[in-house]
A and B are shown apart, each in its own frame.
Chain A
Amino acid sequence: MKILVPVKRVVDSNIKPLVKSDNSGVEVGGVKMSMNPFDETAVEEAVRLKEQKIASEVVVISIGEPKCQDTLRTAMAMGADRGILVTSDDALESLSVAKILQYFVTKEQPDVVLMGKQASDDDMNATGQILAAKLGWAQGTFVSKLELSDGKAQITREIDDGQEILELTLPAVITTDLRLNEPRFASLPNIMKAKKKQIETVALADLGVDTAVRLQVKSVAESSSVREGIIVGSVEELMDKLQNEAKVI
Chain B
Amino acid sequence: MAVLVLLSYEKGDQIRKISRSAITAAGKLGTEVHALLVGDHLDGLSQKASQLQGIQKLLVAEHADYAHMQAEPVADLIVSLADSYEFIVAPANAEGKDILPRLAGLLDVQPISDVVEIIDASTFVRPIYAGSILATVTSKDAKKLLSVRGTTFEAVAETGGNATIEKIENLPASDKQLSVFKELKLSQSDRPELESARVVISGGRGMQSGENFVLLEKIADQLDAAIGASRAAVDAGFVPNDYQVGQTGKIVAPELYVAVALSGAIQHLAGMKDSKIVVAINKDPEAPIFKVSDYGIIGDLFEILPQLEAALKAR
Contacts and interface: CB of A to CB of B under 8 A. Distances in A.
A249 B256 contact: yes
A214 B145 CA distance: 12
Contacts of A125: 97, 101, 113-114
Contact of B178 (A11, A138, A163, A218): A138
Given A158-B94, A160-B95, A166-B181, A19 B133 contact: yes
Given A160-B93, A214-B110, A139 B292 contact: no
A65 B179 CA distance: 36
A177 B102 contact: no
A75 interface: no
Given A13-B130, A126-B111, A218-B123, A138 B72 contact: yes
Interface size, A (range): 35 or more
A217 B154 CA distance: 26
B139 interface: yes
B111 A94 contact: yes
Given A144-B241, A218-B136, 8 more contacts: A126-B113, A128-B101, A214-B139, A215-B138, A221-B134, A222-B132, A236-B311, A238-B308
Contact of A126 (B101, B123, B180, B250): B101
Nearest to B113: A124
A217 B71 contact: no
Contacts of B165: none
A225 to B, nearest CB: 4
Given A215-B138, A217-B135, A227 B278 contact: yes
Contacts of A238: 279, 295, 297, 308
A43 interface: no
B101 A154 contact: no
A188 B16 CA distance: 50
Nearest to B274: A225
Contacts of A226: 291-292
B245 to A, nearest CB: 13
Given A126-B101, A222-B133, A242-B279, A216 B140 contact: yes
Given A123-B129, A161-B242, A218 B248 contact: no
Contacts, number: 266
Interface in B274-297: 276-280, 285, 290-297
Contacts of A225: 131-132, 269, 273, 292
A223 B127 contact: yes
Contact of B187 (A122, A162, A166): A162
A120 B270 CA distance: 12
Interface of A: 11, 13, 16-17, 19, 26, 93-95, 98, 117-118, 120-134, 137-142, 144, 154, 157-169, 177-179, 213-223, 225-227, 229-232, 234-236, 238-239, 241-243, 246, 248-249
Nearest to B125: A221
15 contacts: A95-B110, A133-B106, A142-B98, A159-B242, A160-B8, A161-B10, A161-B11, A162-B240, A164-B181, A168-B180, A169-B179, A215-B140, A226-B292, A238-B295, A246-B256
B105 interface: yes
Contacts of B105: 95, 98, 129-134
